[in-house]
Amino acid sequence: MRNGRSKLAVLAAIPLLAAACSNGDEDSGSAATTDTELSASLTGAGASFPDPLFQDWIYSYGNDVQQGVDINYQSVGSGAGIEQFLEQTVDFGSSEEFLGEEELAAAADARGCEAVQFPVVFGSVVIAFNNPDLDGLVLDAQTIADIYSTEITSFDDPAIAELNPDLDLPDDEIVPVHRSDSSGTTAVFTHYLTTEVESWADEYGEGKELDWAPGLVGGQQNDGVAQGISQNPGGIGYVNQSFAQEAGLSVAQVVNADGTPIEPTLESTIAASEEADVPDNFQFAIDDIGGDGYPIAGTNWIFTYTCGYEQGAADAIIDFWTWALTDEAAQDVAGELGYAPLGDELTDRVIAELEKTNSENGDAEGAEDDAEGDDADAEEGADEE
């Protein structure tokens, strides 16, 4: 479960990832992008949760697919990403929390057209430690909530010992680390605790930002939390799986809805994502995960607009995300980093939604052409009369 072993588990699951991404066409990945040479400079901002994957995708796309497209993705946190998207200072936004109705209305008012949002990847939020002796420690929602509310303050607490009868637990003081910025990872983590633990829901609730219990350590973005865990003896925190892998942190098994302790792996993340009920508006959460699924799983959404882009920029946005979602090598990289694919049917739905990007620009031009044609027909009819 530590970095090396997690990596082996992920790599062993790559054939499963490839099968999940396949559309039954061996060339489906490369065929998804245009043969036209594109030229654009794009800026995106938002979640740190998918940043390792996005940076890899951006590098590969710019070097191997469309050399004329430059993409700068700024890992600033989901809250800042949504803010910058609504302020229209970036071409696309990213978050682990979807845009709600108020945010969609604000986007439409500011831009003069509708926003588009769609999921691009699933990932697990893991509970990580800097103590290798705790690798594989079993926790459940109640013990995690009690740690973050400071009801549990040491690793040998009776509640943790009950879940780990075969482990010789240290009496080290627990130092919980949380996100100090507006964070989609926090939204996923606290949504899980809120749906599973009534006392947490009553006292703390869920969201991208929280009024945490006193005495906790804060960190900026996922890498800041990983750093906070590593630098504090007894550190424990919640981060995306890829950040735990990169930092070489130990991770907990978390008891799911069926009472089974589950290790966060690519396979268990895929199992969790398959239980998601994804509506037409793509506003959903992954809840009540049982079976082989890891219970703290989240989604990353991308946000664009249906108008206001230069066509070259819109073409590049559509092409890049189509490539990322369908190219076999791109999806293999996702698996290596612990992210789970969308699956065939959902990918098709997402690409259809993605293609609405800048679509109202074309509709508006078409409407003007139709109107001009109608006026000409009317004038011609009047002359004949």
Q: Select the more confidently predicted residue: 322 or 380.
A: 322
Conformational region of residue 86, where left means phi above 0, alpha means psi within -120 to 50, and beta covers everything else: alpha
Q: What confidence score (pLDDT) does residue 361 get?
A: 86
pLDDT at 7 > cutoff 80: no
Q: Is the pLDDT of residue 288 over 80?
A: yes
SS3 143: helix
State the pTM of this model: 0.85
Mean pLDDT of 113-122: 98
CATH code of the domain occupying 124-273: 3.40.190.10
The token pair that represents 23 in the structure block: 């559309």
Lowest mean pLDDT among 11-15, 54-58, 269-273, 339-343: 11-15
Q: Residues near 299 by Cβ (< 8 Å), separated by ≥ 6?
A: 96, 98, 119, 121, 122, 123, 273, 276, 284, 286
Q: Where are the domains of the chain?
A: 3-121+297-364, 124-273
CATH topology match: 3-121+297-364 vs 124-273 = yes
pLDDT at residue 284 greater than cutoff 90: yes
Q: How far apart are CA 289 and CA 296, in angstroms?
A: 8
Instruction: Identify whether the C-beta of residue 74 lies closer than 8 Å to the C-beta of residue 45.
Output: yes
More confident residue, 13 or 128: 128
pLDDT, position 379: 45
State the average pLDDT over residues 2-28. Answer: 38
Per DSSP, the residues of 208-227 read SS--PPTTPEEESHHHHHHH
Question: Stretch 297-323: mean pLDDT, rounded?
Answer: 98
Mean pLDDT in residue range 90-97: 97
DSSP state of 134: G
Q: Give the CATH fold of the 3-121+297-364 domain.
A: D-Maltodextrin-Binding Protein; domain 2 (3.40.190)
pLDDT over threshold 70, residue 111: yes
Of the chain, the percentage scoring pLDDT greater than 70 comes to: 85
Instruction: Work out the pLDDT band at 33, boundaries 50, 70, 90.
Output: low
For residues 46 and 73, give the distance between their C-alpha atoms in angstroms, rounded to a whole number. 8
- pLDDT of the residue at 12: 35
Mean pLDDT of 267-296: 96
* Total length of the chain: 385
What pLDDT sits at residue 54?
98
- The pLDDT assigned to 35 comes to 79
For the residues 311-323, what does the mean pLDDT come to? 98
pLDDT of residue 11: 35
Write the pLDDT tens digit of every residue in 337-383: 999 999 999 999 999 999 999 999 864 443 334 434 444 444 444 44
- Report strand pairing: 250-251 vs 115-129: antiparallel
More confident site: 265 or 20: 265
* Chain centroid, CA 263 distance in Å: 19
Identify the H or E element spanning 262.
strand 261-262
Q: Write down the mean pLDDT value for the chain.
A: 88
* Residue entry with tokens 């001009």: 372
Give the C-alpha separation, 150 to 236, whole Å: 12
Confidence of residue 200 (pLDDT cuts 50, 70, 90): very high
